[in-house]
């Protein structure tokens, strides 16, 4: 197990309230971790702290030297007032390299839409483009903030399938915020349930039975988690034939 990034005793205070309190998280090589939690639980804030774009009020963040992180933001809605092709958008990345672009385009299945206008893409296409962009720098860690939030169920499955392939073929680590429980159950190795503090964490099945999880999401949700767990093989294989 080699450590990529770890955050200890993270505190973020806003207007007298703790957005994050005493948060501990550790990401190792080949980890696939999903953070779940209610709206306003501090999930995006935690991601920002880990990426270093936001400094917590207190706490320690240790990173592996020169850790390269790929990031997919929440709610990415390109505006039509700027004309820009997918290709040009990808080329805005620092240290851009055309061979890498070709490779990543094939990997994420966006080769046919490279000349399309960014604002004209469908939701599913847009998420694939963002995934491609995050992979351009060959990251060791991918951080995704609710990546399939605005997708219909078919596109969600496609996207998560793609993400799974990337995870397996590249042997990278993934940290994701997601509400898509079927995906959480099917692919994630570890779930962290966050509500300002880490309520519980562990394998998805274990978390679903944790009293703190039931307390936060209710009994129905916990039941749903176990249902998804049960059906996950089915969903996965159907999707591969797609």
Partner 1 sequence: MIEPFLIRATIAGIGVAIIAGAIGCFVVWRKMAYFGDSLAHSALLGVALGLVLGISTNLGTIIICTLFTILLIWLQQKQILATDTLLGILAHSALSIGMVTLSLLEKSVDLHSYLFGDILAVTTSEIYLIISGSLIVLVFLYHNWSSFVLTTINEKLAKAEGLNILINQLLIMFLMTIVVAVSFRIVGLLLITSLLIIPAATARQLSHSPETMAVLASFLGIIAVILGIYSSLYFDTPSGPSIVVSAVIILIAI
Q: Which positions from 52 through 81 interact with partner 1, judged by CB under 8 A?
A: 53, 69, 71, 73-74, 76, 78-79, 81
For residue 69, CA distances in Å to 33, 92, 113, 219 come to 15, 16, 25, 36
> Quick one: 116 or 170, whose CB is closer to partner 1?
116
* Least distance in angstroms from the C-beta of 78 to partner 1: 6
Q: Is 239 left (phi over 0), alpha (psi -120 to 50) or beta?
A: alpha
**Interacting stretch for partner 1, rule CB under 8 A, among 92-100, 150-158, 180-188, 208-216?**
92-100
Using CB under 8 A, count the residues that bind partner 1. 22
> Quick one: 126 or 186, whose CB is closer to partner 1?
126
What six digits make up the tokens of 3?
């450590």
Contact (Cβ atoms closer than 8 angstroms) between residue 126 and residue 106: no
Q: How far apart are CA 168 and CA 165, in angstroms?
A: 5
Q: Which positions from 156 through 185 interact with partner 1, judged by CB under 8 A?
A: none
CB atoms within 10 A of CB 201: 19
* Least distance in angstroms from the C-beta of 134 to partner 1: 9
What six digits make up the tokens of 237?
């294989």
* Least distance in angstroms from the C-beta of 211 to partner 1: 35
Residues that bind partner 1 (CB under 8 A): 51, 53, 69, 71, 73-74, 76, 78-79, 81-85, 88-89, 92-94, 117-118, 133
């Amino acid at each position: 197990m080699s450590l990529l990034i770890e955050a200890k005793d993270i505190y973020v205070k806003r207007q007298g309230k703790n957005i994050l309190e005493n948060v501990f998280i550790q990401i190792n090589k080949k980890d696939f971790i999903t953070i779940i939690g209610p709206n306003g639980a501090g999930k995006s804030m935690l991601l920002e702290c880990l990426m270093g774009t936001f400094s917590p009020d207190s706490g320690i963040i240790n990173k592996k030297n020169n850790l390269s992180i790929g990031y997919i933001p929440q709610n990415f809605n390109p505006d039509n007032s700027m004309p820009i092709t997918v290709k040009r958008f990808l080329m805005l990345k620092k240290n851009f390299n055309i061979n890498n672009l070709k490779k990543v385009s094939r990997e994420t299945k966006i080769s046919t839409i490279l000349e399309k206008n960014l604002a004209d893409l469908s939701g599913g296409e847009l998420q694939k483009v963002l995934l491609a962009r995050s992979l351009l720098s060959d990251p060791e860690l991918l951080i995704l903030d609710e990546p399939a939030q605005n997708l219909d169920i078919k596109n969600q499955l496609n996207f998560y399938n793609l993400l799974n392939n990337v995870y397996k073929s590249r042997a990278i680590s993934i940290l994701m915020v997601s509400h898509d429980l079927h995906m959480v159950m099917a692919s994630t190795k570890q779930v962290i349930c966050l509500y300002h503090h880490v309520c519980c964490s562990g394998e998805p099945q274990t978390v679903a039975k944790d009293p703190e999880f039931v307390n936060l999401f209710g009994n129905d949700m916990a039941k749903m988690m176990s249902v998804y767990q049960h059906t996950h093989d089915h969903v996965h294989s159907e999707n591969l034939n797609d």
